[in-house]
A and B are shown apart, each in its own frame.
Chain A
Amino acid sequence: MRRQAILDRYFLDARHKLIDVAAFLDRVERGEGDADFRLAAFHQAVDVLRERRPDKAEAVLTVFSDPTDEPIAVADTQGACGAWPGSGKES
């Protein structure tokens, strides 16, 4: 697809989602108390968006991913929270 056609088709939708992200971050900042590791991971993922690279979606997913290789000892929960507890830290 040509860039112009991509902008015509997706710009408003992406703009809408970006403003939602901005408002989400404002909301978190207005909130009280401590944030957990998810916020740091989120900020790190937002930083990826400014990088000039062709694989930003993959890079954002990787920021949120468990980077370890070994199975965990026990599954004490069935759910996932969207970020790895160690993510968001400077590496």
Chain B
Amino acid sequence: MRYIEPHGHMVSRTTDDYQAMVTSGCAAVCEPAFWAGFDRGGPESFRDYFSQLTEHEPRRAAKFGLPHYSWICLNPKEAEDLGLAREVLTIIPEFLDRPNVLGVGEIGLNKNSRNELQVLERHIELAAEHDQLILVHTPHLEDKRKGTRLILDALAAESRIRPERCIIDHVEEHTIRMVLDEGYWAGMTLYPESKCSAARAVDMLEIYGTERIWMNSACDWGVSVPKAVPYAMLEMRLRGHDPDWIDRVAFRNPSAFMSQCSRFRIPE
């Protein structure tokens, strides 16, 4: 079994996690910029974090033979402060041509506020100006459905954005249809207390098909499971799906999306 972890916050994980992922068939990991679990002190903290994502973490992953890619942005949880956002948005372009950077992400919304939406629109503009792929975080729980709608509208409002170059992550049963119908990629996040279980993810694949969909663990500093993707692959196998079907979802789909960025190399 081979797979790509398209969404893992590895700076929060241990070397044991790297070892477990690689020995389970992980062939590449992609790390979107995220909230630290607390608000960062100022713009320079973001510069340090972006350096960590583009210099230090790839070296740590390389010790386990694992290619590491990253996405750069100011995450929506820290987007309420427009002054901070403005400053961080001027730092981001410095990092967009680093050798492991795939695009702008994970941008999106958290509580669906006006300021968050404004910061999302600036990120979308930035991605369009620099011709970057986009990885979108959709809000949690009661805010997801409305937030997903607002995000899709914001993307559609920027004419330079092509839906096939955007992945809308953390979809669930009430948001997956709008994402796929409007031509975007959909990410299903396998997470213990919120988001999606392996059984539900496989249900959605059976209902909506395997085109433009990937799965990820979104493992981070919270209770989360770095091997969630291979566990879901086991779920597929136990339901009788053939190895080619499983490989498409777990390996070839993320490869196909990420290959739209010339810096991504499909793992051997």
Residues of A within 8 A of B (CB): 1, 9-10, 55, 57-58, 61-62, 64-69, 71-75, 77-78, 80-84, 87
Contacts and interface: CB of A to CB of B under 8 A. Distances in A.
A78 B111 contact: yes
Contacts of A78: 35, 77, 110-111
Given A9-B238, A57-B173, A65-B174, A72 B114 contact: yes
Interface in B160-201: 172-174, 199-200
Interface string B84-117: 0000000000000000000000000011111111
A74 B174 CA distance: 25
A77 B111 contact: yes
Interface of B: 35, 77, 80, 110-117, 139-146, 149-150, 172-174, 199-200, 203, 238-240
Contacts of B140: 80
Question: Considering the complex of A and B, which 9 residue pairs feature the smallest CB-CB distances, nearest first?
Answer: A75-B111, A75-B113, A80-B141, A58-B173, A61-B174, A65-B145, A57-B173, A84-B142, A80-B140
Chain A binding surface SS class: loop
Given A10-B199, A61-B172, A73 B142 contact: no
